[in-house]
Amino acid sequence: MLIAKWGNSLALRLPADYVRRIGVKEGDQVQASLTTDGGICLRAARWDRQAFSRELEKSRADMPMTESVMDELRREARY
């Protein structure tokens, strides 16, 4: 395998046989982790509905409901 420069990052090209074995395609996400012996472990990232729901709920909690932007614009007559 070859490591190449990709912008400010480095990229690793996966052989087609590896790609077929793990069942990924262009645009898919993978999870990378370091092993205790210094290796890298790549796994296809599967969509987790519960994790997504928790992340969405946290995002909603971080964005308090405020006055409608359109109502504010109409009141100020800026449109």
Q: What would the pLDDT profile of 6-62 be if each residue is shown by its tens digit? A: 999 999 888 999 888 888 888 888 888 999 999 999 888 877 788 888 888 888 888
Q: How confident is the model at residue 78 (pLDDT cuts 50, 70, 90)?
A: low
Give the separation between CA 31 and CA 42, rounded to whole angstroms.
6
Average of per-residue pLDDT across 68-76: 78
The residue type at 79: Y
Give the separation between CA 25 and CA 13, rounded to whole angstroms.
13
Tally of structural domains, the chain = 1
pLDDT of residue 66: 76
CATH code, domain with 72:
2.10.260.10
Contact status, residue 22 vs residue 42, Cβ threshold 8 Å: yes
